[in-house]
């Protein structure tokens, strides 16, 4: 509450993620973004395996999440293994 200089009421925390798989090169890419009250909050950078905080309010979260190696490994595994397998599975459904 203090980090965002806000009063009470309803607030929204959202997560958006996805991946793409190139069936010719087998290259996989993924993204994971979080938003707060309709604004970008924090992003997972798959290449560096770190979090990017576009706003000052997210810097504390960035440091906590960067130090949480299990969370980082879980996000990487989802984007590079689980998500592409789901893409392949649903492509087979036609």
- Compute the distance between CA of residue 74 and CA of residue 89 in angstroms, rounded to an integer: 21
In the prediction, which pLDDT does 3 show?
A: 62
Sign, CA dihedral 36-42-44-50, equals: negative
pLDDT one-digit tens code per residue, 23-34: 999 999 999 999
Give residue limits of the domains in the chain.
13-92
CB 18 within 8 A of CB 80: no
Domain range 13-92, CATH class? alpha beta
Residue carrying the six token digits 């970008």? 40
Query: For the chain, which ranges sit under pLDDT 70?
Result: 1-6
CA-wise closest residue to 89 among 21, 40, 32:
21
In the prediction, which pLDDT does 4 show?
A: 62
């Amino acid at each position: 509450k203090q980090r965002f200089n806000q009063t009470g009421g309803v607030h929204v925390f959202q997560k958006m993620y996805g991946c793409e798989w190139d069936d010719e090169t087998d290259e996989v890419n993924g993204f994971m973004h979080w938003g707060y009250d309709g604004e970008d909050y924090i992003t997972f950078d798959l290449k560096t395996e770190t979090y990017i905080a576009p706003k000052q309010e997210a810097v504390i979260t960035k440091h906590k999440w960067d130090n949480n190696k299990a969370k980082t490994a879980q996000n990487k595994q989802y984007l590079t293994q689980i998500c592409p397998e789901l893409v392949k599975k649903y492509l087979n459904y036609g």
